Amino acid sequence: MYSADTWFLQDGKWFRTYGVMHNQNPDIKWEVKKEYNLGLDFTVLNNRLSGRFDIYKRKIDDLIYDISVSQPPAIHDKTTMNVGSMQNTGYEFELNFKAVDNDNFNYTTSIVASHNKSRLNTLWGSQTFTDRKDFPAPGSPGSAVRLYPGEDIGQFYLWKFAGFTDDGYWKLYDKDGNAFDVRDRNKTVVDKSFVGNAIPTLQLSWNNQFSYKNWDASIYMRSWIGHDVFNMINMYYSLPNVKGQNVLEEAYDKHKNIKGEKELSDYWLEKGTFLKVDALNIGYRFNQNWIKPLKSMRIYATARDLFVFTNYSGLDPEVNINGLEPGFEERNVYPKTRTFMMGLQVNF
């Protein structure tokens, strides 16, 4: 495929250039997906209790992905290829319950839970692994993800933290489980291990709706349980001896005695389990005889992103968990802001 590119000046006139958008790959094939799904839907107690349960297994062959290639001979730095096969297994569960249903008061609650696990089965050709998530400068500490056949997607590929020396330098574990001072020997990639997992063991959402006479209210909450987050912000900005980067409070408190550069280790991994109060709504519907000739009128107030309950020390434990490099709190994120809104709904 071709697309418009840059402009250039020749003989006093501007000309538009056109070029190849992607590297050509005549051998690329369609992805092939096979999925097996077993589901159960139910309704009991005179429709007061309903729900569904689905369990699935999905296999994808000839995965399509952009792979880094050499320039030259390639025009662009990535080529779209069939890179291997992977499988997903998991379940989804939903339960809805009309807990109270009478003339003056109603309460309905709904909960949704899901679990998913992804595993890479094969890579293309003779490829035994591919490294992803290269950390940028300053320091360029290496890559934090390795895609390896037979391993789960979402794991981190890091050196294991073994503590600090008495004078504040890093200690790591080698492949045999022996701790070493990073000043005494060069750490190698073979000393890295698969640690943690960015994919939550369980994802939950819980919606509650209430009504009392003319009043109505709802509260919506979400939770991720059992996932790890790599705190890139702490890694880059909380070490005291890195000039221009030592901007976090930890650099002068928790990490004030650390010497040397940052190390790409599981020291920066944190448990990301959280509970969020995403939305809270409250409204009042006026009696018809108060608002004639209007058909209806309702006043309401809404608050979003109210609270987060978590032990995670970074900005937000809800990081990207999609793709092949999940679980990193990037350095370009902004704190979530609470929003409050009031409104009036009128029906003429």
Query: What pLDDT is recorded for position 340?
Result: 97
- Is residue 324 in a domain? yes
Range of the domain at 250: 28-347
Looking at residue 173, what is its pLDDT? 94
pLDDT at 203: 98
Average pLDDT, the chain: 90
Q: Is the separation of the CB atoms in 227 and 197 below 8 Å? A: yes
Instruction: Describe the strand order of the beta sheet including 161-164 as a list of residue ranges.
Output: 161-164, 170-173, 179-181
Binned at pLDDT 50, 70 and 90, residue 140 comes out as confident
| Residue 1 pLDDT > 70 | no
SS3 183: coil
pLDDT of residue 16 exceeding 80, the answer is no
Report how far residue 237's alpha carbon sits from residue 220's, in angstroms, rounded to the nearest whole number. Answer: 34
Into how many domains does the chain fold? 1
Output phi, psi for 288, to 5 deg.
-60, -40
Instruction: Give the residue-averaged pLDDT of 308-329.
Output: 94
Asked whether residue 326 carries a pLDDT value surpassing 90, the answer given is: yes
The mean pLDDT of 169-192, rounded to a whole number, is 90
pLDDT the model gives residue 135: 83
Residue 10 lies in a domain: no
Model confidence band, residue 160 (pLDDT cutoffs 50, 70, 90):
very high
CA distance 263 to 145: 15
Residue keyed to tokens 């490099």? 325
Given this model, what pLDDT does residue 139 score? 67
Please give the pLDDT value at position 245: 84
**Is the pLDDT score of 192 beyond 90?**
yes
The better pLDDT of the pair 302, 80 is held by 302
The 8 Å CB, 24+ separation contacts for 261-264 are 261/139, 261/141, 262/139, 262/141, 262/235, 262/236, 263/141, 263/159, 263/161, 263/170, 263/172, 263/182, 263/187, 264/135, 264/141, 264/142, 264/144, 264/158, 264/159
Q: If you average pLDDT over residues 313-339, what whole number do you get?
A: 91
If you average pLDDT over residues 155-178, what whole number do you get? 93
| Residue pair 305/337 in contact by the 8 Å Cβ criterion | yes
44 occurs within a structural domain: yes
Average pLDDT over residues 142-171: 92
SS3 of the chain: helix, strand, coil, percent, to 5? 5, 55, 40
Q: Which residues contact 339 (CB under 8 A, 6 or more apart)?
A: 303, 304, 305
Residue 309 has pLDDT above 70, yes or no: yes
* DSSP assignment string, 133-159: EEE-TTT--EEEEEE-TTSBTT-EEEB
Q: Write out pLDDT tens, residues 17-68.
A: 777 777 888 888 899 999 999 999 999 999 999 999 999 999 999 888 777 7
- 233 within a domain of the structure (yes/no): yes
pLDDT at residue 318 in the model: 96
By mean pLDDT, which of 5-19, 94-108, 168-182 is the weakest?
5-19
Whether pLDDT at 314 is above 80: yes
The model's pLDDT over 59-108, given as tens digits with 9 standing for 90+, comes to 999 888 777 777 788 777 788 888 889 999 999 999 999 999 898 999 99
Specify if 19 maps to a domain: no
Q: Which pLDDT value is given to residue 288? A: 82
For the chain, percent of residues with pLDDT exceeding 90? 59
Q: What is the pLDDT of residues 106-118, one digit of tens each?
A: 999 999 999 999 9
Residues present in the chain in total: 348
Residues 271-288, mean pLDDT to the nearest whole number: 95
Query: Residues 242, 248, 253, 256: what is their CA dihedral angle, to the nearest 10 degrees?
Result: 0
Tokens for 175?
Answer: 């492949």
- Cβ atoms of 315 and 329 closer than 8 Å: yes
Q: For residues 273 and 54, what is the distance between their CA atoms, to the nearest angstrom?
A: 24
* Any domain includes 11: no
What percent of the chain clears pLDDT 70, i.e. is strictly above it? 96
pLDDT of residue 138: 67
Residue 23, in any domain of the structure = no
pLDDT at 64: 85
pLDDT band at 4 (very low <50, low <70, confident <90, very high): low
Most confident of 233-247, 267-281, 313-327: 267-281
Handedness of CA 205, 229, 269, 246 (dihedral sign): negative
> Where do the H-state alpha helices sit in the chain?
232-237
**Quick one: tokens of 38?**
């077993």
Identify whether 2 is part of a domain. Answer: no
